[in-house]
Amino acid sequence: LLNLGPDADQWHNAHTDAVYDASDLGVTLNGISGHKSPTSMVFDRQQLLPDTLNGGALLTCWSPANSVYMYDIGEDLLLMRPVGSVKMSMTRLVSGFSRPMSVVLVGSTAYVLDLHRIWEVHFQVLPLPVELLRWEAAGVCRVELSWEVGEEVGLARYELQRMREGGAFETIGMVSAQGRSRYAFLDTPP
């Protein structure tokens, strides 16, 4: 699988002695960084993790702390998510373990066994910082979306998405949160 990053995608060039990060350069790495040693993997087959994390796999990895060539010296928990049929993204979720050996997923909690203890990593679904009072969508080719909120707490913007039948969600627009109660957006699909 081609690794799109943003993590576990560094390599060392023995000729120049430089360390490169594939995703920073806009290229892919075949697999994960050679200096990272995966020690266990568990798949989220039942999609128990929150929406932003589900459908992938959790990996524990470690690399020697004395690696002089890599900046990404990690004893960490990574999330591997498929992107199409031949690509994946790798994202570091937690670091700082001491030689992690195993990960088990029970509900939305991962248990990581390292050299000294068992760690609990809780993945919680947090409520939105907004009280939605009304949501309406009207129209066929051009759809007028309108909504009313009661309270917005620390909200920067609304990201509007649509999903075509059997497809994935795609972002169609953004509306800045302005502390008012009524918002609208016109969706004009191509």
- What SS3 state is found at 125? coil
CB 40 within 8 A of CB 3: no
Predicted confidence at residue 125, as pLDDT, reads 65
CB 8 within 8 A of CB 32: yes
Predicted confidence at residue 183, as pLDDT, reads 94
Q: Where are the domains of the chain?
A: 2-122, 130-187
Predicted confidence at residue 66, as pLDDT, reads 56
Give how far Cα 164 sits from Cα of 59, 99, 137, 172, 184, Å: 32, 44, 15, 12, 21
pTM comes to 0.61
Max alpha carbon distance in the chain (Å)? 62
Predicted confidence at residue 70, as pLDDT, reads 60
Which tokens is 9 given? 């995608």
Predicted confidence at residue 126, as pLDDT, reads 66
Predicted confidence at residue 43, as pLDDT, reads 93
Q: What tens-digit pLDDT sequence spans the chain (190 residues)? A: 888 888 888 888 888 888 888 888 888 888 887 767 888 999 998 888 887 787 899 999 887 655 555 666 668 899 999 888 899 988 889 988 888 999 999 988 999 999 889 999 988 766 677 888 889 888 878 889 999 998 787 788 888 988 776 667 788 999 998 877 899 999 987 6
CB burial string 8-22: b at 16+ within 10 A, e below: bbbbbeeeeeebebb
